């Protein structure tokens, strides 16, 4: 995401807003590493019942989708 003292990139700000809008309504979410970790560290994944995947876990996500 960003280093301390640096402003976030415009794309990161947009990603943050999109994630905040989607998370309460999603059962599963694939996002980049830093957002996934932030969501998990704050417990928002559990609060909203959303399984959060880092993009490197896309195979796990695809397997779960195929099992539905």
Helix/strand/coil for 30:
strand
- Convert the pLDDT of each residue in 6-65 to its tens digit: 676 777 788 888 888 999 999 999 888 888 998 999 999 999 999 999 878 878 878 887
Residue-level pLDDT at 21: 92
Task: Give strand ranges (E) for 1-68.
Answer: 28-31, 51-54
More confident of the two residues 19 and 4: 19
- The alpha carbon dihedral of 15, 20, 43, 9 has a sign of positive
Check whether 5 has a pLDDT greater than 90. no
Residue 14: HSE in the Cβ half-sphere, 13 Å Cα cutoff: 3
Q: In whole angstroms, give the CA distance from residue 40 to residue 50.
A: 10
Determine the pLDDT at residue 54.
87
């Amino acid at each position: 995401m960003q280093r301390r003292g640096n402003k976030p990139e415009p794309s990161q700000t947009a990603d943050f807003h999109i994630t905040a809008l989607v998370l309460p309504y999603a059962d599963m979410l694939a996002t980049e590493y830093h957002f996934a970790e932030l969501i998990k560290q704050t417990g928002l994944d559990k609060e909203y019942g959303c399984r959060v995947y880092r993009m490197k876990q896309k195979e796990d996500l695809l397997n779960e989708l195929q099992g539905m």
